[in-house]
Structure formats: C-alpha cells, structure tokens
Amino acid sequence: MAAACVLAKGGLDVVVLDEQHAPGGQIYKGVEKVFAQRPQDVPSLGKEYAAGQALTRRFRESGAQYRPGVSVWQITSDQEPELALGLLEEGSARMLYPKHVILATGAMERPVPFEGWTLPGVMTVGAAQTLLKSSRLLPREDVVLAGTGPLLYLYANQIRDLGIMPQAILDTAPLLTLSSGLLGLSALLACPKSVLQGMHWLWSAKRKLGLVQGVRTLKAHGNDRLSSVTYDTHGHEHELSTSLLLVHDGVIPNTWLSMSAGIRHHFDSVQSCWVPDIHGAGSTSRKDISMVGDGVRIGGASVAVLQGERVAHEVEAYLGKKDRSFLTAEPRALSRQRRLRRFLDQAFPPTNDFQLPTDKTIVCRCEEVTAGEIRQVAAGGCMGPNQGKAFTRCGMGPCMGRKCALTVSQLMADARGVSVDEIGHYRIRSPIRPITIGQLADMPLPSENTD
Ligand SMILES: Cc1cc2nc3c(=O)[nH]c(=O)nc-3n(C[C@H](O)[C@H](O)[C@H](O)COP(=O)(O)OP(=O)(O)OC[C@H]3O[C@@H](n4cnc5c(N)ncnc54)[C@H](O)[C@@H]3O)c2cc1C
C-alpha cells in the first residue's frame, strides 16, 4: 500500500492485486470494517491496529487501481520472453503484463510440528486472531496458548480486553541471556514505546493470565479431537484439560511466489527461514521484480511501510521516471526498527532451533509423513527435500509443502550434518494457488486480453 501510494502519486499506472477482500494486509485485516461497524472494539485491538485506518485511507485516495479478491498463481520465469502474472479473479483465470512487479506477499506463521498438532482443536494464534479481527470470534475460557513471539502476548491481551481469560500461556522461549538483555536495552533506547508495550503484555500475562515460562516438549492429546495438553518445565510433566490449543512460533516470509519466479534465496540463520537475496532497497536477482515487507525478511509493519516507500522510489528510477540520486539514504526510523528486531530475533528463537520434532510427530500433515520417516530417508542417502518427495510423498499434498518445507529441510540438514542452505528447499513451481483445468482452458489468449 505504501509503495502504491508513492508510485501513483508519481503518475505511474499502478495495479494492486490482493487475495484479501479489503485493504489492510495481515496486520490491518478488516480495519475499515472494524472502524465502520465495531468502533467499540478498536481500543482492544490496539493503537498499532488503529494506525491502519490512516494508511488504508491514504491508499484508497492514492489513485492506484485496487483489485481485491485476486490470487496471483503464477509469475513467468526469467527464461520466458515476457514478464506476466497469472491471476484468478472472480473465478476466471487471466494474465496481466506489467512492466515491473513489486512482490509484497507478507509473512505466514512458522509451522512447527509437535505430537498431536493435527488434532481438531489445535489451531494457530494467527488464525484465531484473523477470526477475531474479521468476525469478532473469541475462544472459550478453557483456551490454552502456547509457543513464542510477540503475537502470542498481543493476542492474549486482545482477548483479555474483550473479556476472555486464557487458562494458561505456555511460553517455549528460553529465558533471557545477558546478550539478549543487552540487545533489549538497545531496543528500549531505539523504540521505547514498542518495548514498554511488550513489557506491559508480559507483566499482565504473568500477573493475570497464567503464564508458564521455560516450557518444553509440548504435546496435544485426544481421540477424535483435542482433550488435553502436556508439557515439561524443569524436568516435571504437567497436564491441562482443554478443548482449544492455540499455538504460535513466530512468523516467516511467505516466499512461495518469489521462489516460483526463480528469484535467488538463501537460508537466514538468524531468523531461521528462507529469504530472497536483496540488494539496494528491494531489488532482487530479477531486475523486473522488486520485493518489500515481511516477504523479504520479518521486520514488522512500520518497516514494511518505510521500505515500501523506498522501494517505490527505486522502481521509479528503474522505469526511468526519476534519476537514482533521488534515492535517499536509509531513514533513521528504519535503523531504530532494526535494533528492535535484533532483540526480538534473539529473545524469541523458534522451537525447531533447539528442539526438532520427535520421530513419531507428523511433519507433512497432507501426506501424513513423520519426522522419523524423514530422518530414515536422509540416513539412507537422500540428498534433499526434492528427492525426499520421491521416497515419501512429503510436500506433495494440497498445501504444496507450505506446512512442512522448513521442518523437512531442518530435519534433513540435522540428519546429514550439513547446513540448511546446503540441503535446500522444495523447488516451487506454479500454480502456487489451486486452479482448475477448466479455468486454465478458458483463459483468454494474449491477443484477447483486455488488461
Ligand atoms: C497471522 C499473522 C498475524 C499477524 N498479526 C500481527 C499483529 O496483530 N500485529 C503486528 O504488529 N503484526 C502482526 N503480524 C505481522 C504483520 O502482519 C506484518 O509485519 C505486516 O503485515 C507486514 O506487512 P506486509 O505488507 O509485508 O505484508 P502483509 O500485511 O501480510 O500483506 C501481504 C498481502 O499479500 C497478499 N498476498 C500474498 N500472497 C498473495 C497471492 N499469491 N496473490 C494475491 N495476494 C497475495 C495477502 O493477501 C496480503 O494482503 C502478523 C502476521 C501474521 C502472519
């Protein structure tokens, strides 16, 4: 949205395609509807959420053409003669032929498998928060929250303000070390409001919301659906009866589209996820595609906005609308945000970094492949995730590997004693969203295209 505002103001013909049905992306999901229809919920959703109203209004007034409810299922590779996007719009497939593409596909929750995570009654915090923002759906009082990261605490406080007290918050993050404490101090000086807000959430979780820290070996139990969870703290096992477990282990860049476009990526060991290779503000290994926001590296909404504006100026220069001297140095607000992120990355490491799933844990939930089977094929000489598909069908189900890719690469790297970068990632091919043969067959030919 921020990039589109700058580009439209600069007189460029801008089209914004978004799978969602209203502007706001992930963080400001449903913000226009909440302000118009449920203004009483705005304070509970927080000041950061409320900031989305000004941004969506600026975007609506920018002159950029907004096409909501459109899924991008393909970007032509750099081997093909023309840059083109495959779209699904109102049930029909079509192609769009832009001069340049900015990918701002955001983040997705980091999938972290554990025993019982496939039981009905186990969901992610992000999914629950989406239901809250879009439809004011709240969990029952027996809900247990588990995992790590700021979103866990933000959501706990959001539902508390709406009258729901979770039964417990099981925090799997290790206790703060001296070096993360020092990074915390640096983050406090750089972004005092955010750090103080985080400390307030933590304090309120400790005082009022049943916070348990240092949790290990989380397991969900039940026959047809979840009935209880067990976990360890300091060598003792505990059990809680519950019908709803909400888990969260931080977020990772959503790189499916950029990987399918042939953009170069590498494994970022600090954030433990795959990220695109970026130079300049948002240039990629393909000169006709830029990237910005959490899809590049997890940085948060303010970084996405600041970077969005910088990337827009870079694209204007690429398209010959401005000269490159217009590109400003990185604003100070961005470097302050980076100090905050360094602290968050260290304070909330993902579970897989210190505890990979047990052998009997299902890793690929579509094909029901366990961590033990992945370890077995790796020990038998399997070279990586793509070859692993042939042995196990892991990653070949309807989610196309979204839920298992990262864990499979980490398991194989661990079993073979090499880095995740060396093991690699599933090769991602279009269509990256489901599309029927009928839709493909009915697609207008380039000569009939009206876009
Ligand atoms: C589940 C979840 C909940 C979060 N909640 C919070 C929160 O409460 N507070 C907070 O500070 N941060 C939150 N974050 C982080 C926050 O969303 C990001 O920091 C911020 O939104 C980054 O902005 P962005 O523009 O990079 O991506 P986003 O805001 O995520 O926007 C990405 C957009 O790309 C669209 N898109 C992706 N793929 C396609 C495709 N193939 N075709 C068409 N459109 C596509 C999506 O529909 C989405 O609108 C959350 C993240 C997640 C994953």
Q: What is the b/e burial string over 175-206, where b = at least 16 CB atoms within 10 angstroms of the residue's CB?
A: eeeeebeebbeebbebbeebbebbeebbebbe
- Pair 210, 241 in one domain: yes
Q: Is residue 430 in a domain?
A: no
Q: Would you say residue 25 lies in a domain? A: yes
Residue 395: Cβ within 10 Å count = 24
Longest dimension (CA), the chain: 68
Mark whether 31 and 100 lie in a shared domain: yes
Nearest Cα neighbor of 24 from 47, 72, 56, 51 is 56
332 is a domain residue: no
Let me know whether 132 and 242 are in one domain: yes
Q: Do 181 and 234 fall within a single domain? A: yes
For residue 433, tell me if it sits in a domain.
Answer: no
Phi/psi at 289 (5° precision) = -130, 125
Choice from 15, 27, 159, 161 to test ligand 1 binding pocket (greatest atom count within 8 A of CB): 27
* Whether residue 145 is found in the same domain as residue 239: yes
Ranges assigned E (strand) in 269-402: 273-276, 289-291, 362-364, 369-370
Same domain? 119 vs 239: yes
DSSP state of 98: -
Strand partners, 273: 268
Q: How many residues does the chain have?
A: 451
User: Looking at residues 76-91, what average pLDDT do you find?
Assistant: 91
Residues 65 and 179 in one domain: no
Q: How many domains does the chain have?
A: 3
Q: What is the value of pTM for the model shown?
A: 0.93
Residue with tokens 């959703």: 45
Q: Whose CA is nearest to atom 27 of ligand 1?
A: 106
Same domain, 91 and 156: no
What would the two tokens of residue 298 be? 């997890």
Asked if the structure places residue 29 within a domain, the reply is yes
Within a domain: 440: no
Degrees, nearest 5: CA angle 342-343-349:
90
Q: Are strands 265-268 and 273-276 parallel, antiparallel or unpaired?
A: antiparallel
Is a pLDDT exceeding 70 seen at residue 325?
Answer: no
Torsion angle defined by CA atoms of residues 123, 129, 131 and 135, in that order, rounded to the nearest 10 degrees: 160
Q: Are residues 173 and 267 in the same domain?
A: no
Same domain for 124 and 84 = no
Start-to-end CA distance of the chain, whole Å, equals 21
CATH number, residue 384:
1.10.10
Per the structure, the complete domain to which residue 176 belongs is given by 111-249+344-351
CA of 251 to the centre of ligand 1 (A): 10
Question: Which residues share a beta bridge with 70?
Answer: 89
Dist CA 316 CA 251 (whole Å): 30
SS3 state of residue 305: helix
For residue 48, the model assigns a pLDDT of 85
Distance 29 CA to ligand 1 centre (A): 8
Residue 326 has pLDDT above 80, yes or no: no
Average pLDDT for residues 10-17, to the nearest whole number?
A: 96
Q: At residue 446, does pLDDT exceed 90?
A: no
How many angstroms separate the alpha carbon of residue 24 from the centre of ligand 1? Answer: 8
- 8 to each of 1, 160, 178, 220, how far by Cα in Å? 10, 41, 47, 49
For residue 328, what pLDDT is reported? 66
- pLDDT bin (cut points 50, 70, 90) of residue 273 is very high
Which residues form the pocket of ligand 1, taking CB atoms under 6 Å from any ligand atom? 17-20, 25-27, 48, 71-72, 104-109, 126, 129, 151, 154, 251, 254, 257, 293-295, 300-301, 304, 433
CA 405 – CA 389 distance, rounded (Å): 11
Phi, psi of 109 (to 5 degrees): -70, 140
Which residues make Cβ contacts (< 8 Å) with residue 402, sequence separation at least 6? 108, 111, 256
Give per-residue pLDDT as tens, 336-389: 999 999 999 999 999 888 889 999 999 999 999 999 999 999 999 999 999 999
Report whether pLDDT(449) > 90. no
The predicted structure's pLDDT at residue 327: 67
Q: What is the CATH number of the domain that holds 186?
A: 3.50.50.60
